[in-house]
C-alpha cells in the first residue's frame, strides 16, 4: 500500500502540477486542483503525514525553490476557491456544508498576517519547518495527527488565525 501511495504522490509531476509549470501568481485551474485534491485525499488519510505535507508542498511551491512565498499561497487559495465553487453542486449536503465552511475560512483568514506569524525568520518565505511549527508529523496519516492533541497545538494555530479560528471548530478541529 505504501508503495502505491508513493507512486500516487508522484502523479502531479505527470500532470504538470509542480515547480516551474506556472508563475506563483497564477492560480491552479479547477481541473488541476481537482487532481491535487483527489491524490491528496488518499495520501492524507492513508499515508504518513510527511507524505501528505510533501504532496501539498510540491503542489504549492510553483517556483520550485523549496519554500512557499505569499504569492504562491495566494494562488493556491484562489485555486481552491475556484475549484470549490465548481464542486458545490456535486456534493451531498454534509460535504457541501464542510466545503462552504472551508471556503469561508479561506476567504476570511488574513493570509498576509498568518504568513508573517509563521515566517519566524522574517525572510518572506516559509520553510516546511516554519509551516509545521504547531504540528508534530510522524508515521500516522495527517488526519490522525491533526486530531491528536499531543501532536497538534490547536491553541497556537487558533492564535495565528485570529478571528478566523472560529471556523476551525465548525470544521471539527479539537478544542
> Using the 8-state DSSP alphabet, how is residue 28 labeled?
P
In a domain, 23, yes or no: yes
pLDDT tens readout for residues 153-174: 988 988 887 777 766 666 666 6
| Cβ atoms within 10 Å of 78's Cβ, excluding its own | 16
In a domain, 131, yes or no: yes
pLDDT tens readout for residues 139-156: 999 989 988 989 999 889
In a domain, 175, yes or no: no
In a domain, 82, yes or no: yes
In a domain, 34, yes or no: yes
**Number of domains forming the structure of the chain:** 1
In a domain, 8, yes or no: yes
Average pLDDT on 94-107 reads 81
Range of the domain at 7: 2-170
Contact by Cβ (8 Å): 157, 165: yes
Contact by Cβ (8 Å): 36, 111: no
Max Cα-Cα span within the chain: 43
How far is 97 from 100, CA to CA, in rounded Å?
A: 5
In a domain, 39, yes or no: yes
Q: 166 is written with which cell numbers?
A: 472560529
Q: 58 is written with which cell numbers?
A: 510540491
In a domain, 86, yes or no: yes
pLDDT on residue 134? 94
Amino acid at each position: 500500500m505504501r508503495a502505491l501511495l508513493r507512486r500516487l504522490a508522484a502523479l502531479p509531476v505527470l500532470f504538470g502540477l509542480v515547480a516551474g509549470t506556472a508563475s506563483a501568481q497564477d492560480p491552479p485551474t479547477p481541473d488541476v486542483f481537482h487532481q491535487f485534491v483527489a491524490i491528496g485525499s488518499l495520501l492524507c488519510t492513508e499515508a504518513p503525514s510527511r507524505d501528505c505535507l510533501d504532496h501539498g508542498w510540491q503542489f504549492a511551491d510553483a517556483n520550485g525553490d523549496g519554500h512557499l512565498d505569499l504569492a504562491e499561497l495566494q494562488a493556491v487559495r484562489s485555486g481552491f476557491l475556484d475549484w470549490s465553487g465548481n464542486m458545490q453542486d456535486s456534493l451531498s449536503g454534509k460535504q457541501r456544508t464542510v466545503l462552504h465552511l472551508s471556503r469561508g475560512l479561506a476567504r476570511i483568514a488574513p493570509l498576509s498576517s498568518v504568513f508573517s506569524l509563521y515566517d519566524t525568520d522574517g525572510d518572506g518565505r516559509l520553510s516546511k519547518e516554519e509551516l509545521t511549527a504547531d504540528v508534530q508529523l510522524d508515521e500516522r496519516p495527517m488526519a490522525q495527527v491533526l486530531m491528536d492533541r499531543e501532536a497538534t497545538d490547536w491553541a497556537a494555530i487558533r492564535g495565528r488565525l485570529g478571528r478566523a479560528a472560529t471556523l476551525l471548530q465548525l470544521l471539527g478541529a479539537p478544542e
